[in-house]
Amino acid sequence: MIDKYNREIDYLRISLTDNCNLRCIYCMPNDENFNGINKILSFDDYKFIINCFSKIGIKKIRFTGGEPLLYENLDKLIKYTKDECCIEDICITTNAIGLYDKIENLKNNGLKKINISIDSLNENKYKKITRGGDLKEVLKALNKCIDLNLKVKVNCVLIKGLNDDELYDFINIAKYKNIDVRFIELMPLGEGIKMFDKGYINLKETLDKIDILKTTKYKEKSVASYYKIENSNGRIGIITPMSCSFCSNCNRVRVTSNGSIKLCLHSSEEIDIKPYLSDGNKLLNVLKEVIYIKPEKHNLVENKKSDTKRNMYQIGG
C-alpha cells in the first residue's frame, strides 16, 4: 500500500491492551488503575483486522500494549497471523515481566523478533524507573530469548540525570551479547511532558562523540539510525523523533486496543474502525482510503509537544 507521499506502508503495530504491570515514570501515571484487560476488541476482531491488513500489503506486525504479555490469546494471535495471513515478520515489544515462562511457546507459534524495554541495568534504579520491576527477572528472560536465537533488541529511553550515566553499560550489553541496543529520545508526550525540559538528551550529538561507535548505513526500513561497535556484531541504534525526525521513512500505522487507527503516533486524528468489523469489503475500502492520506510528518519539533490525546501506554509506541 502506497500513501500519497510515495511511502510503502507495510508495517502494522497493534496495541492489545492499555493495561501494564509496571508504571514507568515517563509513560504511565503512578495512580492509574485498571479493571482488567480492555476487551473492547474481541479475539475474532483482532483476527479480522489482521486479515484485512494482510490483503493490502502489510508484511510486518508488532504486538504492543500496554504490556502485550497480559493478553491471554497472544500465542494464538501470533499463530493466526503466521498460518492464516502468511505474515512471517511477527514481533512483540514487552517489559519482559512474565516472559521467561512464555517465550518458548510464543516462538513455537511464530514469534520471530522481540524488543525488550530496559531503562536501567542498576537494580535499584530500574525499580525506581518502573515503580516496582524486577531487573533480574527481565535479564533472565533476555538471556533466554538470545539462547532461543530470537532476534532481540533492547530499548532504553535515555534521560538526563537519571540513566545517562549507564550509556557505556548498555553499549557493553550490545557488544558482548551481540544484540541491538536502541536508545530512544525522551518525548514531550503524556508523562514525558513533566520530565522533558530537564531530561531530554540529543542522542546523535551524544553518541557521535563515542570513539568505539562507528556510524553505518544499513539497508533496512527503520526509525533508528545505527552505529557499529568495534569488534562486535552488536549495534547501537538511536531513535530521534526530536533531534532528527524519521517521518520521510515512516512505513507504519497503528491500531489501538479500543479499535481506532492512528496514522501517526503524534497526531490527534484517529479513525474508529469498529463499525466496519462485520464487513470485510467496507473495512478494506476504509483502510485504503485512510492509509493513502497518512500525514507527511508530525509537528513534535516545532510544537515541542505531541498532538496526540493519548498517553504512550495507550498507543504502544
Higher pLDDT, 296 or 63: 63
Please report which residue ranges of 98-234 form alpha helices under DSSP H: 103-108, 123-130, 135-147, 167-177, 192-199, 203-207
Give the pairing type, strands 89-94 and 60-64. parallel
Please report how the helices 135-147 and 123-130 are oriented relative to each other, as an axis angle in degrees rounded to 10: 100
What is this structure's pTM?
A: 0.93
Give the distance, in angstroms, between the CA of residue 59 and the centroid of all CA atoms in the same chain: 16
Exposure string (b/e) for 242-265, b if CB count within 10 Å is 16 or more? beebebeebbbbbbbbebbbbbbb
Report the DSSP beta bridge partners of residue 237: 182, 226
Class of domain 11-153+249-314: alpha beta
- Please report, as a single letter, which amino acid is at residue 37: I
Measured on CA atoms in the order 52, 78, 236, 307, is the torsion positive or negative?
positive
pLDDT digits (tens, 9 = 90+) for 220-234: 567 888 999 988 999
- Whether the pLDDT of residue 251 is over 60: the answer is yes
Q: What is the mean pLDDT of residues 162-186?
A: 96
The pLDDT, as a whole number, for residue 228 is 93
- Whether the pLDDT of residue 188 is over 60: the answer is yes
